[in-house]
Structures are given as C-alpha cells and as structure tokens.
Amino acid sequence: MPDDGGPDPVVRVIDPDRPYSNVRHLRELLRGCRGHIWWTEPHFAPKLLESLADEADAESISEIRVLTGPEKREDLRKRGKDEFKRFQKEMQELGITAEWRIMGGKSDKHDRFLLDKSRSWNMPPINTLLKGDYSEIHETPKRPPFDEWWAEGTDLI
C-alpha cells in the first residue's frame, strides 16, 4: 500500500534503476492482501518464503497457498521441504494455514498470479522482479482458476 494512504496503484513498474523499489512493490502487495494469499509462480523458490513471513499478518489473512511448477519438483523436495516445514509451523503458530503444492495437469500455466479474497495481480517471473528487468505487476479483473489448478496439484510435503 502506498505510504500516503491513497489507493493502491493498479500497475507497478519493475525498473532496473529501482532495485529496492522493485522488491518493495512485492512486499506492499503481500502486506495489502486480505483473507488469503494465493500465489502461483512456476519457479517459486524457498527464498520467497522470507517475504511471505515478513508480510503475513494473521489479522488480515488466514491462509497462504503456493503453487509451483512441476519442473521444480525434485529440487524443491530436496532443499525446500525443510525450509517450508519451518515456515508452515511458524505460520500455524500465528493462526495462518500454509500449504505448498506442485502443479499438476497440463503444463500450460505460464503466467504468474497473486490473489487475495477479492483482487488478483498478474506478476512477472520472480527472477525478473529480483533482477530488476523491465516488467510490470498489474491488477487483473479476471481471476485465474486457481482452485482448479490447486485441485490438480500435489502437496510438496
């Protein structure tokens, strides 16, 4: 959310000249989520749990769901499993349910989305955001079928 108390911007620009602001945009979105945080990112990495942990507020959200691509399955199970277990336990102690699934079904899910109970944003690839390549985060009026994708997935742990 903007510091001036005004409305959230509909578009946030990712700019190579603004490396701090690029990550701040992500954190502001997470901080502003209400009800839940559902995030589909084919290349979600355990390091992103830091931003979720820092911004998750049990007064605002009760659930976090992460959906990642099948190409990361074995790598995630090896190195991300323990880190996610610690994250999941901490969230549970705060009153937030946290789950992580590997996408199933057809691998035609290219775009990335962040959703709360009433809003959704089309996100750039996380590496684009972290590297600061030109891109945009923009609110989208059409919600993706996250529930469908989630039902097709398999639990990380």
Domain ranges of the chain: 35-155
Q: In this predicted model, what pLDDT tens digit does every residue of 21-37 receive, in sequence order?
A: 888 889 999 999 999 99
**70-93 in b/e burial notation, b at 16+ Cβ within 10 A?**
eebeeebeeebeeebeebbeebee
pLDDT > 90: percent of the chain: 48
DSSP state of 141: S
Residue written as token pair 């691509």: 69
Residue 133 has pLDDT above 90, yes or no: no
Q: Give the class (CATH, top level) of 35-155.
A: alpha beta
DSSP state of 72: G
pLDDT, residue 99, reads: 96
CB atoms within 10 A of CB 141: 6
Q: In this predicted model, what pLDDT tens digit does every residue of 62-110 receive, in sequence order?
A: 999 999 887 655 666 666 778 899 999 999 999 999 999 988 866 566 7
pLDDT, residue 72, reads: 58
Q: Return d(Cα 140, Cα 157) in angstroms, integer.
A: 31
Q: Regarding predicted confidence, which is higher, 129 or 84?
A: 84
Q: Cβ(139)–Cβ(121) under 8 Å?
A: yes
Q: Cβ(41)–Cβ(66) under 8 Å?
A: yes
